[in-house]
Structure 1
Amino acid sequence: MRNLILSAALVAASVFGMSVQAAEPPADGKYVELNNPVPVAVPGKIEVVELFWYGCPHCYSFEPTINPWIEKLPKDVHFVRVPAMFGGAWDAHGQMFLTLEAMGVEGKVHSAVFNAIQVEHKRLTKPEEMADFLATQGVDKDKFLATFNSFAIKGQVQKARDLAKKYEISGVPTMVVNGKYRFDLGSAGGPEETINVADQLIAKERAAQ
């Protein structure tokens, strides 16, 4: 997992008011049960959240494992991607993701954005730079810029920051099941193991309903 260095984590904790206290992990150490469960976005469904950053190579390498899994999730599971924002490029990329999501085109360009940053080494940290690249992917440049700077997106940015704080994350990729259980590639033991932990926790929550 792409862990933040201690000083960066402390800065993030200061800026976002992040709690550094969480429940102890279970005996197998694969996940942490949060002391304060976070309400899910769609009541009645089992929520799975992936917190990520386009600039994270581990998030990028996780894509071939998590994407096919997402496509096969049953109807009672609601999957959500949430951009982690720890300042700088994290914030810029997170706001870009939320803008694309609001425009209804994120699913079409998600892989292209990841590839541009991770493989082509584009920075994509300035709105105009983002818009120029996204135009090559069929996204309306003017609409993107207007949406990016809108009041609605500012609200979504704050919501994403609040969620990261409540989930008590310190790096990405991190997953959270039903607002209760947090785990990552490091604690689970790798990409496939992370998916296995998600499946086990989904089954646990389904049985509890």
Structure 2
Amino acid sequence: MIRNVQTLAVLIFALLFLSQANAQSYQEGQHYEAIEMPVRTASDTGVEVAEVFWYGCPHCYSFKPFVESWAETAPDYVNYVKIPATLGASWQPHARAFYAVEAMGELDKVHDAFFEALAGERRQLDSGEALADFVAEHGVDAEAFLKNYNSFGVNARLQQAHSKVRGARVTGTPTMLVAGKYRVTARMAGSHEAVLDVVDYLVEKER
């Protein structure tokens, strides 16, 4: 009986030690930053994890397989969303294209292709017409794309995304936002893989 109690006590101590070690492994200001004025999330339920990216960003291109693999196994209470950044004027057409094909339900057809063309091949797809010709190569109706590209709905989505990215003080891509409260980058976390470890930690912290 005494031996069982001693064993249980050792196990409890070990669990507490591991829990404390894990809690101390990621520090605010070192591995992630708190957003001074939290930004609104798309849903009031679950924990939103937003990936802020740009199709022309080579770092986003490298990060892509890691975040996609993570998203496939993320818990049900995680709401993973993509936010195209407009940190430069040349980024805006690509963000607009993202929302246009998303509105059409055609994002899966061209999301990878956009990355390949813009970050991988450095193609000059910097206008609605050039982007329309490009998506047409991948089975998306060019005329419908341009209609959505220039639509009020896409303008509104673009403005909302810009406000959220600016409010979160995002200065580069890729950046992960957790619950609208925390900002994580590879520079802070140490690597692309480590970014997602920190994200997991923050998700559990919020949950």
TM-score tier after normalising by the smaller chain length: 0.7 to 0.9
SS at match of 1:47: strand
**Which residue is equivalent to 2:198?**
197
Gaps of 5+ in 2: 1-25
Q: Identity of counterpart residues, as a percentage?
A: 41
1:120 matched to 2:124? The reply is no
Indicate the RMSD between aligned Cα atoms, in angstroms: 1.4
Cα distance in 2, alignment partners of residues 197 and 105 from structure 1: 31
Cα distance in 1, alignment partners of residues 205 and 138 from structure 2: 40
The structure carrying a bigger helix percent of its residues is: 2
Cα distance in 2, alignment partners of residues 121 and 109 from structure 1: 16
Q: Which residue identity does 2:106 align to in structure 1?
A: V
**Which residue is equivalent to 1:7?**
none
Cα distance in 2, alignment partners of residues 158 and 124 from structure 1: 21
**Which residue is equivalent to 1:133?**
134
Cα distance in 2, alignment partners of residues 187 and 70 from structure 1: 21
Alignment of 1:11-160 (within 5 A): 26=27, 29-160=30-161
Give the direction of change, closer, same or farther, for the CA distance of 1:120–1:35 in structure 2 (3 Å limit): closer
Deviations 1:25-64, CA, capped at 9 Å, x for gaps = 9456010111211222111110001111111100001011
Instruction: State the Cα distance separating 1:72 from its structure 2 match.
Output: 1.3
Cα distance in 2, alignment partners of residues 107 and 70 from structure 1: 15
Gaps of 5+ in 1: 1-24
Q: How many residues align?
A: 182
Look at both structures and tell me which one has the larger radius of gyration over its CA atoms. 2
SS at match of 1:50: strand
**Which residue is equivalent to 2:166?**
165
Cα distance in 1, alignment partners of residues 136 and 159 from structure 2: 26
Cα distance in 1, alignment partners of residues 31 and 113 from structure 2: 31
Contact 2:30–2:188 (CA<8 Å) still a contact in 1? yes
SS at match of 1:51: strand
Instruction: State the Cα distance separating 1:99 from its structure 2 match.
Output: 1.0
Cα distance in 2, alignment partners of residues 52 and 155 from structure 1: 18
**Which residue is equivalent to 1:20?**
none
SS at match of 1:40: coil
**Which residue is equivalent to 1:16?**
none
Give the direction of change, closer, same or farther, for the CA distance of 1:146–1:28 in structure 2 (3 Å limit): closer
Cα distance in 1, alignment partners of residues 88 and 204 from structure 2: 35
Cα distance in 2, alignment partners of residues 123 and 184 from structure 1: 27
Q: Which residue identity does 1:181 align to in structure 2?
A: Y
Contact 2:53–2:85 (CA<8 Å) still a contact in 1? yes
Deviations 1:132-171, CA, capped at 9 Å, x for gaps = 1111111111100000011111111111110011111111
Runs of 4+ in 1 over 3 A off after TM superposition: 25-28
Give the direction of change, closer, same or farther, for the CA distance of 1:27–1:157 in structure 2 (3 Å limit): closer
**Which residue is equivalent to 1:21?**
none
Q: Which residue identity does 1:40 align to in structure 2?
A: T
